[in-house]
Amino acid sequence: MRRNLERRGMDVDTRCVLCNRGWEDGSHLFFNCKHVKRVWQVVGMEEKRKEFTELTSSLLMIQHLVQLEEDLQVKVVVLLWQWWNERNNVREGAKQRAADLLSYEIERNSAEFLAMGSPNPAEHMGIVQNWRKPEEVLKINSDGAFVAQTGEGGWGFVIRDKEGEVIYAGAGKLEHLRDALQAEIRACLEGTKGAAEMGLGRVVVETDSLILKNSLKDNSYRLAEAGGAILELKNFIREHFFSCVVNYVPRSCNKVAHALAAKGTVGTERNTPPHERWKTSAVAVPDHRRRSHSRAII
């Protein structure tokens, strides 16, 4: 870091790359810079950040880190690593990413790391590994797609009954997106609207976006840019269902919604409506369900 280089006798600009103020040492860059504080806040680890700022040496910080629970440990390490990359990108002239987009990446990376290191990822993460038939309620799977280069994307949802039969599905195109979270929120909203249209009172929503799941659970996103859309979705759910459970599932359990979101993204070719819905049990869903490499779709 710049401050370290200066101590070693180099004549460098020691200001923080991100806020242009302060000494850029480790404690400023990772814990005290106003920009990084936002990120800690949005990923729900503000308390952890405070704990770290009270430690006076790197050694104490490492000791503190290794005694955290594994999922927190991973999340902290991923945050620090993402933030270091962010700082380097900004130094090279890139635009700083919004805290909610960055925390989306952090949640996703952390989930992936945890899944990799665990002999039984599903058990470890407290999530279902294969798509399960809902018991008495209908299950909505939703997914959003986002293409950073164009700001375009798509939404997709599929609603299944307790037999696992698809009873309603939809896909549509999105434009002028700011980030992936926006597409996820819209997909979830379209899915819940579909369910409400059918008069379903009890639903389970499954998403592969941890950040969407978490933001529906608490109010940590009220201040983020996506806050308005999250509130709209929350209000819709509150008004239309007497029971709605939101679960996080890995992408492997969300393949159909994922394929539909991909279909939505390319949906506005000539003569194609901006969105499509199918309300039968024989839905023409692209046959990605049997593909094991679903990540290759987008």
Amino acid identity of 295?
R
What does the block give as tokens for 44? 């729900």
What x-and-dash track marks residues 160-199 binding Zn ion by CB under 5 A? ----------------------------------------
Identify the residue whose tokens are 């790197």: 58
Identity of the residue, 24 or 206, whose beta carbon is nearer to Zn ion in the bound complex: 24
What DSSP state is assigned to residue 223? S
CB of residue 246 vs Zn ion: minimum separation in angstroms? 35
**Among the candidate windows 9-17, 131-139, 140-148, 284-292, which touches Zn ion by CB under 5 A?**
9-17
CB of residue 226 vs Zn ion: minimum separation in angstroms? 24
Q: Which of 1, 2, 3, 16 binds Zn ion (CB under 5 A)?
A: 16
- Least Cα distance to 45 among 95, 80, 88, 87 occurs for 80
CB of residue 21 vs Zn ion: minimum separation in angstroms? 6
Identity of the residue, 14 or 129, whose beta carbon is nearer to Zn ion in the bound complex: 14
In whole angstroms, give the CA distance from residue 104 to residue 100: 6
**Interior CA angle at 191 toward 257 and 180, to 5°?**
60
Identity of the residue, 15 or 108, whose beta carbon is nearer to Zn ion in the bound complex: 15
In whole angstroms, give the CA distance from residue 52 to residue 62: 10
CB of residue 267 vs Zn ion: minimum separation in angstroms? 42
218: how many CB neighbours lie within 10 A of its CB? 9
Q: Which of 33, 43, 166, 203 binds Zn ion (CB under 5 A)?
A: 33
**Interior CA angle at 38 toward 34 and 42, to 5°?**
170
Catalog residues that contact Zn ion under the rule CB under 5 A: 16, 18-19, 33
